[in-house]
């Protein structure tokens, strides 16, 4: 009986320590990240490069002529696809920001006409 009580006390102490350590660790992960750190950027796919049998680098151009890239493991993105990139702000310099997600918004068959109609730099 004394041995069972000792096991229960030790298990209770371990459980309490685990709960307390998780309570302190969880807020640290989310600290400092706000909704202001994310923003959308409308782009169009201008190229893609195959890295491996199931991995591509997708190149997108925004309205300022900047090229943004992201990885695709499904092979679904084609030249002319209009993509809304969910960007994560790394610093004040937007050129350092990273694309976190890509959302398909449509397709343009004639990229030159698309850039001209949208008033984007080429």
Chain segment 78-90, per-residue pLDDT in tens: 999 999 999 998 8
- Evaluate if residue 23 carries a pLDDT over 80: no
Tokens 């371990």 correspond to 14
In the prediction, which pLDDT does 83 show? 95
Whole-structure pTM over 0.85, yes or no? no
What per-residue string of b and e applies to 24-42 under the rule 16 or more CB within 10 Å gives b?
A: eeeeeeeeeeeeeeeeebe
Query: Which residue would you say has higher pLDDT here, 64 or 4?
Result: 64
* Per-residue pLDDT band at 28 (split at 50, 70, 90): low
In the prediction, which pLDDT does 21 show? 74
**H/E element, 117:** helix 111-118
Under 8 Å between Cβ of 119 and 61 = no
Angle at 40 (CA atoms; ends 34, 42), nearest 5 degrees: 170
- Average pLDDT score over residue span 3-19: 80
- Evaluate if residue 10 carries a pLDDT over 70: yes
In the prediction, which pLDDT does 17 show? 80
Which is nearest to 98 in space by CA: 76, 122, 71? Answer: 71
Which is nearest to 82 in space by CA: 50, 49, 35, 117? Answer: 117
- In this structure, what token pair is assigned to residue 11? 């298990």
- Average pLDDT score over residue span 59-81: 92
């Amino acid at each position: 009986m004394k041995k069972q009580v000792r096991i229960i006390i030790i298990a209770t102490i371990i459980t309490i320590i685990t709960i307390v350590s998780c309570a302190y660790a969880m807020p640290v992960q989310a600290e400092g990240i706000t909704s202001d750190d994310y923003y959308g950027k409308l782009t169009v796919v201008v190229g893609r490069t195959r890295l491996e049998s199931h991995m591509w680098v997708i190149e997108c151009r925004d309205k300022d002529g900047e090229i943004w890239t992201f990885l695709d493991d499904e092979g679904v993105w084609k030249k002319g696809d209009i993509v809304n990139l969910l960007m994560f702000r790394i610093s004040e310099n937007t050129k350092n920001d990273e694309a976190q997600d890509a959302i398909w918004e449509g397709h343009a068959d004639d990229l030159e006409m698309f850039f001209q109609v949208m008033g984007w730099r080429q």
